[in-house]
Structure 1
């Protein structure tokens, strides 16, 4: 076996594999398996091993619904609670100096996803940018994003923010070990999409993540996909009831429930929350006053967030995906008006006026997408820009097929540009009706900006900084351009809307 695929870190030796002009190490543990007595506990150090550890296959995905495990035609990635692994991809050619490192955090509403998805492979970025690419798995659903600390006992404690702690543990592993793979531990960029984008905007507000990365990219973050402590306490209580347990039997139920049983309870809890409080989500980092001291947006506003350069943006029609694929947002009149009634009735008139045609479906869908992704991302951009270099974008490009089907530049579509997918099977499908050359062009532009940012700490000179005076925003399209304060009327309509932050939950009915 070639010496180039053998890397030794303090935990032991890792045997990777060569893939053409790249070297890959997969399924590398960054923490001990969170199973048995470590279920619902903060990640613990890896137990060192002797001999060579096989690092040629992706590790198991976190426990989740099977729909999140599809990685190809009739092909699914295995899932397990033993999921705390990461993957490293590097050029095979030696480098004169350490390479920049990009660490990707996958999305999936904190309930779905795996690094084994071919879309997340990273090969195009590594080849084009001569960088190191890392992707991480982390705990999902109730095992990663519900806070059961109220049920802790001296004999069986539970910890909060487990998925967030996993991400910090993975970043700490990268910081300690990436030099062995040719990476520069002082030049790490984190980037993520959707829930992974939320992870990015939350990590900037997490004290334990200080110093673990030099810059960040948040793609379609849902920045408010965080949970107030009071809400988290109530939802954990309801979850335990859905398991058929009470307070005095909660520990036993949480220890003994199978992943499938936990998953069924989680689905029922999510359904009830969507029905009772549209716009809220059960699973997300918890503002526990400790590991995550304050709401991330407040950390940005006060300057407490880590002052690293940030790219943040969203797609033009984020909401169109959800009614058809994951119906979890307030994207219809009933949910929208219920949400405003519960949060800020005085805001409804001015917000809906910014969406011509409301309550028609198109306007309602765009409102729900902007509520979740665009509006809070603008809040973060303008707050962070007061303290650190900040760059804003909107991804507008959509090939004819996506326009004809009503998706347009929907949630997650920019991933095809970021990961250079125009000429893959997926890229050929979405451009079957035309637009492949344009997708290549847009992908080229996005990758040049992402890679220059990762290597140099700023995007190319064609991308001005964002500030509250000019609000310069790159619009990725064919052609790409810069606009100033795009969607100004929408921005002003949403200004001051806080959603459910700090509000008590409505009284819940019987748990079913």
Structure 2
């Protein structure tokens, strides 16, 4: 990779060039085009940027290609139009009342496409590859929230991708394993993400990006995906940095063996096939997509990675404990109110302090005093919200940052804690994914189709968004987050530094004293006992989370 000084010179010159030509009409008459390995693509110009949408990065996973690793896309003659997003991957619908609801878009199994936002003139620019969230069941790169324009205006070539979801992306089955050259199945969604990264390495230079300076960025299931990409030997060397927003490190099933109270992934796939009435693999591949989605819901199929010994060699905690993860800089964090929008994760609030303390004593035994110090009975609802947040997101995020720092890599931790007016009015202060309008720099912008989202709209919100997208872009460019007019963000290090994003960024130390040690002790005890340390959820439960 280029040294930091050279990168900074390039980044500064790119921004200067953008300022010079951004308002020019010299390029307006001709649509932007790029030549990739498969052929030539024509995009559009939007606000001084080159934008390409719906570019295939893999062959359509349909028919006999359903539940197979992604194959290279076909080539084409002439110029392919890349003006519109590709179809969303097949998925169930969010409840209409969900804060995350978006009106349905066209869906298809032929959905393995990506989108590119690029400055008008650039060469060797930093690259971000965005992986959307949605519990590995929902979501799309076409969501208006994921507009890469603000990153491109800061000299980044921004790429967003689709990947197979739900049953289509994560089903394991003995017959699928038998036909595989490696004897494994599942993890197709993760393999899609790896295929997209390989496409970026081959082709991003055509858009002015540097294939040696790629940052993987994801939120929620996208953050979980980024964590698995850090852990997977198949993704080694495909990216240089990672931005991880609200990840977890839950235990996942083994391909063939029951473990941690979970059936094997192949057993789960067999049960789903029986629920569908599919007698063999040919019948599964002939099944109507909507019937597969319905069967997954009936069978409570959980979309999740599978430990197959190939793509995912072990549990995340073990891979990171052994130091086998990718040694790259990481920026990671979570939100103070994560589970305010995921109430199905939170236990019922006991009626009084005595009942609360008795229940904690029953569940946590000798760890109950430590639990009650962190999550006291005097604020029972807030304590349960915080305890659930920490068990799911906080512990895993700080563990990731700690272990990257231990591996000698720059690691940066944040806590998003901004309670802007619209979120406060809905009781959703710093809710799960609430940082997205800020991280994408789009706070204050109206969005079609996101009518349930409490949108930040004040000047204070817009100022914070400018700073956050600035930190993110600088990290992608140089490996060090910084922003104009904002405080320096120290690396985590021995001082356990972090950045708190309230109404404005404030650097601090020891984010949530005692939280990590307590949650780590619980995880280690449960792992030693062969118990799950994060309860897996069915798609139906995931839908209730989004209500």
Same fold (TM over 0.5): yes
1:16 aligns with 2:56: no
Shift of 1:465: 1.1
Q: CA separation of 1:172/1:332 partners in 2, compared to 1, >3 Å: closer, same or farther?
A: farther
Secondary structure class of the residue paired with 2:514: helix
Equivalent of 2:395 in 351, 364, 375: 375
Map 1:351-370 to 2 at 5 A. Answer: 351=371, 353-357=373-377, 360-370=380-390
With 485-494 and 341-350 compared, the bigger mean Cα shift is at 341-350
With 452-461 and 68-77 compared, the bigger mean Cα shift is at 68-77
Shift of 1:489: 2.7
Shift of 1:53: 1.3
TM-score normalised to structure 1 length: 0.86
Q: CA separation of 1:10/1:68 partners in 2, compared to 1, >3 Å: closer, same or farther?
A: farther
Q: CA separation of 1:348/1:143 partners in 2, compared to 1, >3 Å: closer, same or farther?
A: farther
Q: Deviations over 1:394-442 (max 9, x none)?
A: 001111232233211111010010112222115999778x871221122
Shift of 1:117: 0.8
Shift of 1:308: 0.5
Match of 2:440? 419
With 379-388 and 411-420 compared, the bigger mean Cα shift is at 379-388
Q: Deviations over 1:467-512 (max 9, x none)?
A: 3x3110110112311121121132232122228658368xxxxxxx
Shift of 1:76: 2.7
Q: Deviations over 1:157-202 (max 9, x none)?
A: 8732100000000000001100011111111111010000111111
Give distance in 2, aligned partners of 1:342 and 1:240.
Answer: 39
Equivalent of 1:86 in 114, 121, 128: 114
Secondary structure class of the residue paired with 1:498: helix
Map 1:377-456 to 2 at 5 A. Answer: 377-387=397-407, 388-425=409-446, 436-456=458-478
Please report the RMSD computed on the Cα atoms of aligned residues, expressed in angstroms.
Answer: 3.3
Match of 1:27? 54
Map 1:174-253 to 2 at 5 A. Answer: 174-224=200-250, 226-229=252-255, 230=258, 231=262, 232-245=265-278, 249-253=279-283
With 38-47 and 416-425 compared, the bigger mean Cα shift is at 416-425
1:65 aligns with 2:92: yes
Shift of 1:223: 3.0
Q: CA separation of 1:64/1:341 partners in 2, compared to 1, >3 Å: closer, same or farther?
A: farther
Shift of 1:322: 1.0
Map 1:295-306 to 2 at 5 A. Answer: 295-306=315-326
Q: CA separation of 1:301/1:158 partners in 2, compared to 1, >3 Å: closer, same or farther?
A: closer
Give distance in 1, aligned partners of 2:512 and 2:527.
Answer: 24
Secondary structure class of the residue paired with 1:495: helix
Give distance in 2, aligned partners of 1:400 and 1:415.
Answer: 16
Shift of 1:257: 2.1
TM-score normalised to structure 2 length: 0.80
With 163-172 and 491-500 compared, the bigger mean Cα shift is at 491-500
Relative contact order, CA 8 A, sep 6+: which one is greater?
A: 2
1:258 aligns with 2:288: yes
Q: CA separation of 1:155/1:303 partners in 2, compared to 1, >3 Å: closer, same or farther?
A: closer
Q: CA separation of 1:477/1:242 partners in 2, compared to 1, >3 Å: closer, same or farther?
A: same
Residues 88, 135 of structure 1: 8 Å contact kept: yes
Give distance in 2, aligned partners of 1:347 and 1:253.
Answer: 51
Residues 332, 359 of structure 1: 8 Å contact kept: no
Shift of 1:20: 2.9
Q: CA separation of 1:75/1:321 partners in 2, compared to 1, >3 Å: closer, same or farther?
A: closer
Secondary structure class of the residue paired with 1:197: helix
User: How many residues in Structure 1 have an aligned counterpart in Structure 2?
Assistant: 482
Give distance in 2, aligned partners of 1:346 and 1:61.
Answer: 49
Unaligned runs of 5+ in 1: 274-281, 506-512
Q: CA separation of 1:68/1:36 partners in 2, compared to 1, >3 Å: closer, same or farther?
A: farther
Q: CA separation of 1:57/1:479 partners in 2, compared to 1, >3 Å: closer, same or farther?
A: closer
Match of 1:510? none
Residues 192, 219 of structure 1: 8 Å contact kept: yes
Give distance in 2, aligned partners of 1:63 and 1:177.
Answer: 27
